[in-house]
Chains A and B, each alone.
Chain A
């Protein structure tokens, strides 16, 4: 039997409103976390932002300098002269090209041109060392090894696997179409959230202030789940799997996950604050109504 409460809403309507609030919380958190995932895959701006991360470039620069020192000792060339040719600006440019490669691969499913390090300046230094007969190996081998070391630090991926994998994926499915559909998912999630909010408003139309409780609960719950997702991103960020595979790539992912976790954390916190504010307004209004009815 449907018991009618003060404002005229029935118990069934309230139960349905709770279900809608729960679904709103679910879709809200799924939409936000899904948007983060979509951003990670398709956002050229985010990839370029990560590519320009000063901390990551500094880390790469130091790693390259350390490797040059080791190689100079091994092959017999001047480490200082080679180090002068490796600048942070050039590293930033190569990282930008890497980001463009990623964006092309992830949005069009096409492996573009693999970024290459400009070797001319290093070549001259190695040839000079070869003329001075200080090299322990053939000049071409040394140039090749130095170039590979620099390229592996910035772009440590196997070209053949990527080219073959992207070609296979392109043959099997319409990657561009799939990515276009994936891009629409956050919008679809937002529409479902709006539908849930609309259902709550319709169910509680007779006592509209009651809806504050449902909206507040859904927003704060969505925020809590989003914050949990943010913690998950931070856990993934510190996972040693990539670090074991390649320190350079781990640095790039560290910067990417850091930026995503920050965005996720801000949105989650704002949702929790907004939700609890609505609950506070609801509580105040309810208390004043109770006081009025008692007098």
Chain B
């Protein structure tokens, strides 16, 4: 019996895109949590400098 015909216990075909996207989204979420507040603060200062109230 070939490897292809064996019943695989791996991840379902339909969940593969979610499993592939998960690490990318996790990395993006880490970036947002780690640097988000700092970028927000910087943007706030920049907006106050440029925009009239």
Contact = CB atoms under 8 A, between A and B. Distances in A.
Interface in B1-53: 2-5, 13-14, 16-18, 20-21, 23-25, 28, 32, 40, 43-44, 47-53
Contact of A228 (B17, B23, B25): B25
Contact of A279 (B3, B16, B23): B16
A157 B50 contact: yes
Given A5-B2, A25-B24, A221-B24, A216 B51 contact: no
Contacts of B28: 225, 228
Given A245-B51, A246-B51, A29 B24 contact: yes
B28 to A, nearest CB: 7
Contacts of B23: 22
Contact of A283 (B4, B13, B24, B47): B13
A203 B4 CA distance: 17
Interface in A245-281: 245-246, 249, 272, 275-276, 279
Interface residues of A, number: 42
Contacts of A222: 21
Contacts of B3: 3, 5-6
B36 to A, nearest CB: 10
Contacts, number: 91
A161 B53 CA distance: 14
A293 B20 contact: no
A115 to B, nearest CB: 14
Given A157-B50, A157-B52, A218-B20, A279 B14 contact: yes
A6 B52 contact: no
Given A158-B52, A241-B43, A245-B53, A7 B4 contact: yes
Given A3-B3, A6-B4, A6-B5, A225 B21 contact: yes
Interface in A199-247: 213, 216-225, 228, 232, 241-242, 245-246
B17 A246 contact: no
Given A157-B52, A158-B50, A221 B17 contact: yes
Nearest to A290: B5
Nearest to B2: A6
A276 B13 CA distance: 10
Interface of A: 3, 5-7, 21-22, 25-26, 29, 152, 156-158, 161-162, 165, 213, 216-225, 228, 232, 241-242, 245-246, 249, 272, 275-276, 279, 282-283, 290, 293
26 contacts: A3-B3, A5-B3, A6-B5, A7-B4, A21-B20, A22-B20, A22-B23, A156-B52, A158-B50, A158-B51, A162-B50, A213-B13, A217-B16, A217-B20, A220-B21, A221-B16, A222-B21, A224-B21, A224-B25, A241-B44, A241-B47, A245-B53, A246-B51, A276-B14, A279-B13, A279-B14
Given A25-B20, A232-B32, A241-B47, 7 more contacts: A6-B5, A22-B23, A152-B52, A220-B21, A221-B18, A228-B21, A241-B43
6 closest residue pairs by CB, A with B = A220-B17, A221-B20, A6-B4, A224-B21, A221-B21, A217-B16
